[in-house]
Amino acid sequence: MTEFSIPVRVYWEDTDGGGVVYHARYVNFFERARTEWLRSLGFDQSQLQRSEDLVFAIHRMAIDFVRAARLDDQLKVTVTPVAFGAASMQFNQQIIRCDRSTGTADNGELIARADVYAACLSASGFTPVRIPESIKDKLESTISTNN
């Protein structure tokens, strides 16, 4: 499967008084990575809403919090598409703390992982709709056939 990733720095606003990332912020980091993944494929979510009457909404997310991220950590947030249905998408996501000495995630620690399920909805009615074939074809191309 093809992995997409973005860097995220932990700022004071992401943490509690002790400098530990507040658990709900991980959801924000995951969301930001999925948004940038779509953007990298040429899909701007606000444009999809206006021109196609489409939005993608999360209907299920299971998160494992493995370690705590802290103030000033450099994180790598990944998106790995797993499957696409007629009106749904499934992803695996990870947040990895980058190694402080190298700045890379090669030897970084796993912070959190999530299984994410999104539904394609009509933006005007918030009812499930099929993912248009032109969009689905591009999304499905991100799944590697070399599993």
Which residues are catalytic, by number? Answer: 16
Tokens of 131: 């993912």
**Pairwise CA distance, residues 92 & 7, whole Å:** 17
Q: How far apart are CA 40 and CA 126, in angstroms?
A: 25
Residue 133 and residue 138: Cα distance in Å, rounded?
9
